[in-house]
Amino acid sequence: MILIFNFELTRILVTGATGFVGAHLTNKLLNEGNEVVTIVHDLHKVNGNTLKLFNIYDKTDKAIGSLTDETFVKRVVSDYEVSIIYHLAALPIVRVGNISPVPIWATNLQGTWNIMEAAKESGASVFYLSTDKVYGHHGSIPYEEHFALNGLNIYDCSKACADNIVRSYTKVYGIKTAIVRSCNIYGPGDLNSRLIPNTIRRCLKNKSPIIYEGIKYVREWIYVDDAINAFLLVAKNLEKESGDVYNIGTGFSADQTEVIPRILSYFPGITSEIRKPLPYMKEEIPYQVLSTKKIRKKLGWESKVSFDDGLAKVINWWRKHNHII
């Protein structure tokens, strides 16, 4: 079944549109006939710009500037008459955040309150993409939306704080908002340094993927198309369910010792290499599994793509695009 959502909008602002998930969302919104505005910080950046990789960069209206500039953000939302903001932009890498925290705070927190200030002045609605990492480490799984936000790594904490910033603007100012806390999203076009794309790229170079000894962190995985359909469904119901928070996931979770062999099954002759873990790897959340009862019951959403089917799609995409490796 194809989900089609018709928004009565003038223009939609997508922050983080040049990234992997943002580009998929932008592509979906454009295909539905929407006008999409993007905020671009590094104008001439080619590597890491998934909008360009998908050949849709020129189909968006681009505002050149930084999310940390409040005046600029307000001007973009006002000048383009934006009526809904999909706020996906964030500096997302845990390791980088722990090394250099200030840029994480600036982008993930200040960028978020600037978006909310712009929404407060313009009347725009806001969809905010959060993460399962905001929950930190709890004693029981799966995590439910009412659980405390205990993310303590720099990135995890920044997202938890931004999550609360969005909710506070709803409570105090009545801004229409919705928050989705997602598990690990994977799919075509992910140019970041993450387990699945890293492993596939190494295999395509005939290099052994790396398994770090003793690292058993369990992560839940969702294919990008399922995630985007959840975003659109939540946004469609934003007006009548303002201020709500939804987990999205699949129920499938696995650690590196399970994910990497599944990828290796597509690359006969390549074996993994065992290495000692780096110090930062011993400080991450042990497991992250989300309850999706709420979104399934209230909105009727459920994931469609199995992990193995999604993995096959990603590997096939990278085989066709191995020139960018």
How far, in Å, CA of 149 to CA of 157, rounded? 8
Residue 162: name the closest of 142, 144, 177, 146 by CA. Answer: 177
- The structure's pTM equals 0.93
Beta bridge partners, 260, equal: none
Chain-centroid distance of CA 307 in Å reads 17
Which pLDDT score, from 0 to 100, does residue 43 have? 62
**CATH assignment, 11-187+223-251+289-303:** 3.40.50.720
List the chain pLDDT tens, one digit each, 325 residues.
344 444 454 689 999 999 999 999 999 999 999 999 999 987 655 556 899 999 999 999 999 999 999 999 999 999 999 999 999 999 876 666 677 889 899 999 999 999 999 999 999 999 999 999 999 988 788 999 999 999 988 999 999 999 999 999 999 999 999 999 999 999 999 998 899 999 999 999 999 999 999 888 999 999 999 999 999 999 999 988 889 999 999 999 999 999 999 999 999 999 999 999 887 777 778 889 999 999 999 999 999 999 999 999 999 999 999 888 7
Active-site positions read: 155
Which pLDDT score, from 0 to 100, does residue 181 have? 98
Which pLDDT score, from 0 to 100, does residue 44 have? 55
The alpha helices in 149-205, defined as continuous H runs, are 154-173, 195-204
Which pLDDT score, from 0 to 100, does residue 300 have? 97
Which pLDDT score, from 0 to 100, does residue 161 have? 97
Which pLDDT score, from 0 to 100, does residue 1 have? 38
Domains of the chain, by residue range, sit at 11-187+223-251+289-303
How far, in Å, CA of 223 to CA of 303, rounded? 8
Which pLDDT score, from 0 to 100, does residue 48 have? 64
